[in-house]
Amino acid sequence: MRVSGWLVHLTTRALAESMDVRTMTHLVRRLIPNYDIHDRTGFPPNIPIPNKNAAHQIVMDMKESERFLPFINLLISMGDAGFMGRRYKVSHLREIVSEICKTGFLYDREFGMFVEDPLVRRTSNWGVLREGEEYIFTFLRLDIVGNSELVRVYPSEVVQVSYTDLRNILQTSIEKRNGRLWNWEGDGGLGSFYFSQKNNAAALCAIEVIHELFLYNHHSCRLDQPLRVRIAVHSGQCQFRHNFEDFNNDTMKQIIDMESIYTKPDSITFSSNVYTMLDAGIAEQLTPMKTEKNLMLYSYELKWEKGKSG
C-alpha cells in the first residue's frame, strides 16, 4: 500500500508517545528478528536514542520493507491482547486505522490484520500476502471436459463466448466469498481462498458453480450440448507468488491429480483435509470415494431424487 507522509507522521507520534525505545525495538523484532535500532539510526550503542528519532526510523523502515500494515496490526494487538505482559494504550491509533481504511483496506478482527476492501479493489494477494512466504490456502481447480472436441466442432467465437460465460460464473462465485481467481487458461482455472472459513467458502463456491452451470446449460448455453466441468477442492501450504507461473509445489500437483484422475464430469472432488474442516451441513452432502491408492476423497454431484412408486 502507499503510505502517505501524514500516516508516517501519525504513526511516529503514536510510537514516541506510547512506549519507550526498548519496547519499540522488541515490537519490530516480531517482524525483523535481528533489527538493531542503533545501527539503523547511527547512534552509538552507549548513547540513548530519543524516542522521536527511534520512532521515525522504525516507521520508515516498516514502510520501506513493506511491513507497515503488519506493524500496525501489532500496534492494534498491543491494545487488545497486550505485549510483553502488559497492555498499551497506543496514541492516535483510531486516526491511523481511519487513514489506512481510506486507502482501501479493512481491519479483519478474526485474523487480526488489514485486508483489501473488495468494494475498492481485488488483487491476487488480498493486498497483504508477501511474495515467497508460506501460507495455507484452499484451492478450487476447474477444468472444462472435452475442450479439444469443443474447439474442433464449434466456431471459435461460440466457444469463446461460452467459456467467458463459465469464467464469469466461476469468478462471481469466488469473489463474493472473498476468494481470488488466480488463473484462467481458457479451458479452466484456479481459485484461491485464504480468509474467513476458507474451506467452507471453497466448497460452497464449487457447489454453486455446479448448480449455476446446470441452469446455464438448460437456458443459456450456445452449444448444442451441455458445457461440462470437473472441479477439485484441496487445501495445503503454498508459497505466494505474484506470477502464477511460479506456483509449483506438492499442493498444486495434488489438486491437479485430484481433478484429472479422480473427478468425474459434472462433479466435485474434495480432499480429506478439506472435508474434515467443513461444516456438518456441507459435509453430509458428500460421498466417500474409493481410490486405487487408498487416497481418501469425497465427491459431490447433482442427483435426481427417485420418485416413490405408487
What is the pLDDT, as a whole number, of residue 249?
A: 83
Q: What's the pLDDT score for residue 306?
A: 56
What pLDDT was estimated at residue 267? Answer: 97
For residue 110 the three cell numbers come to 478474526
Q: What is the pLDDT of residue 97?
A: 95
d(C-alpha 34, C-alpha 30), whole Å: 9
Taking 50 as the pLDDT cut, the residues of the chain under it are 308-310
| CA-to-CA separations, 75 to 83, 91, 112, 135, 260, in angstroms, rounded | 9, 10, 11, 23, 46
- The per-residue pLDDT for 246 is 78
Cell of 308: 416413490
Round to whole Å and give the CA distance between 300 and 17.
Answer: 57
Entry pTM: 0.85
- Give me the pLDDT at residue 305, please: 60
Report how far residue 74's alpha carbon sits from residue 241's, in angstroms, rounded to the nearest whole number.
25
pLDDT at site 108:
86
Contact 192, 179 (CB under 8 A): yes
Cell of 79: 491494545
CA distance 100 to 127: 12
Cβ count within 10 A of residue 143 = 20
What pLDDT, on the 0 to 100 scale, is given for residue 244?
81
* pLDDT of the residue at 274: 97
Evaluate the CA torsion angle 193, 197, 203, 204 in order and state its sign. Answer: negative
**pLDDT at 309 (0 to 100):** 44
Residue-wise pLDDT for 189-244, tens only, equals 999 999 878 999 999 999 999 999 999 999 999 999 999 999 999 999 999 998 88
Estimate to the nearest angstrom the gap between the alpha carbon of 275 and the chain centroid: 19
* Residue labelled with grid coordinates 472432488: 269
Neighbouring CB atoms inside 10 A of 226's CB total 15
If one counts every other C-beta atom within 10 angstroms of the C-beta of residue 132, the result is 10
